[in-house]
């Protein structure tokens, strides 16, 4: 056995062991919702809270009379009124949780596990092509394993995984730049979360807790802002929200320099990098198609 082959087997073995650990860790987290004297219960809604960063749509949550914060769907967020009861569960591990809390956590864990699993299988196929182990795997699962197929599968998976958040980011970016079908109002700043940054640039992460009204309904939004915006705030701040989605708010920036933040710029550069990879993939596919057509004509 060559040194390279031995190193490859060690890498794949470590990846496999980590995958098993990941499954066990994920199961341990999710199992806390299904054991420990689970009982049905109800709590009263006292507030609607949305949480929003720079790029994505908000997470919708409700606060109950026992100070429990639970995830809800966008439809539930606007259907439930203050004073309504929400059905959920309680056990020895969680004071209160809903079925959507379980779903919300399961989705993110599942996406991470799937992403890691695809990467692990791709690594195995790419490095082990032509070996006895590789051939046995092909016979067991009755599939034709080849490097081109692996690359094609990884590229498709990469495009799907990155395109979904990019669409969401683009939609919110358009709403921020072009404020159509939105209401302008002043929000009361009731609290501030200021976390000092670490690393070379030490950019802080700042969230404002904002209280505002849409008609007779009061909302609270935890909104991420830049340091420039934070330096200009007083007791109120001007915001915009979508008429059909009051939980989705935007800060009315007074000057372009309020958008200058390391976290924000780093995020934009990451988006540009992903778009550049799309361009590289398209150029590569177009080049391969031309070569294939040329070979076929010869």
135 in the same domain as 9? yes
118 in the same domain as 10? yes
pLDDT at 257: 65
Give 243-261 pLDDT, tens digit per residue: 989 999 998 877 766 666 6
Average of per-residue pLDDT values in the chain: 79
Give 128-169 pLDDT, tens digit per residue: 665 565 555 554 444 555 556 666 777 777 787 788 888 888
Nearest to 185 by CA among 241, 120, 267: 241
Give the separation between CA 26 and CA 104, rounded to whole angstroms: 13
Give 55-68 pLDDT, tens digit per residue: 888 999 999 998 89
| Range of the structural domain that residue 296 is part of | 263-298
Kindly state the greatest CA–CA separation across the chain: 76
Give the separation between CA 218 and CA 236, rounded to whole angstroms: 15
Residue 204 CB neighbour total at 10 angstroms: 16
232 in the same domain as 147? no
Read off the pTM.
0.73
Give 34-47 pLDDT, tens digit per residue: 887 889 999 999 99
Instruction: Determine what percent of the chain is predicted with pLDDT higher than 90.
Output: 23
Give 95-109 pLDDT, tens digit per residue: 898 888 888 888 777
Q: For the chain, what is the domain count? A: 4
297 in the same domain as 193? no
Pairing of strands 85-90, 69-71: unpaired
| Single residue among 151, 175, 199 that ends a domain in this structure | 175
129 in the same domain as 16? yes
């Amino acid at each position: 056995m060559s040194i390279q082959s031995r190193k490859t087997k060690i890498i794949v073995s470590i990846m496999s062991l980590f995958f098993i650990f990941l499954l066990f860790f994920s199961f341990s987290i999710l199992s806390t919702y299904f054991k420990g004297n689970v009982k049905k219960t109800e709590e009263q809604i006292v507030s609607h809270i949305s949480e929003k960063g720079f790029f994505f749509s908000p997470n919708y949550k409700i606060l109950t009379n026992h100070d429990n914060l639970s995830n809800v769907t966008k439809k539930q967020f606007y259907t439930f009124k203050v004073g309504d009861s929400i059905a959920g569960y309680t056990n020895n591990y969680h004071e209160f949780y809903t079925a959507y809390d379980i779903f919300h956590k399961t989705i993110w864990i599942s996406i991470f596990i799937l992403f890691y699993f695809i990467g692990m299988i791709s690594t195995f196929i790419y490095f082990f092509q032509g070996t006895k182990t590789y051939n046995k795997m092909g016979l067991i699962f009755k599939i034709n394993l080849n490097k081109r197929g692996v690359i094609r599968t990884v590229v498709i998976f990469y495009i799907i995984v990155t395109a979904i958040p990019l669409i969401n980011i683009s939609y919110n970016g358009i709403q921020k730049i072009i404020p159509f079908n939105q209401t302008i109002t002043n929000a009361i700043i009731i609290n501030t979360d200021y976390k000092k940054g670490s690393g070379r640039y030490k950019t802080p992460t700042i969230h404002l807790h904002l209280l505002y009204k849409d008609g007779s309904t009061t909302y609270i939004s935890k909104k991420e802002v830049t340091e420039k915006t934070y330096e200009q705030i007083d007791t109120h701040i001007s915001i915009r929200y979508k008429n059909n989605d009051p939980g989705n708010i935007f800060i009315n920036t007074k000057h372009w320099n309020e958008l200058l933040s390391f976290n924000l710029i780093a995020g934009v550069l990451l988006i540009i990098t992903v778009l550049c990879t799309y361009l590289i993939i398209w150029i590569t596919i177009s080049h391969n198609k031309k070569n294939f057509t040329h070979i076929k004509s010869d």
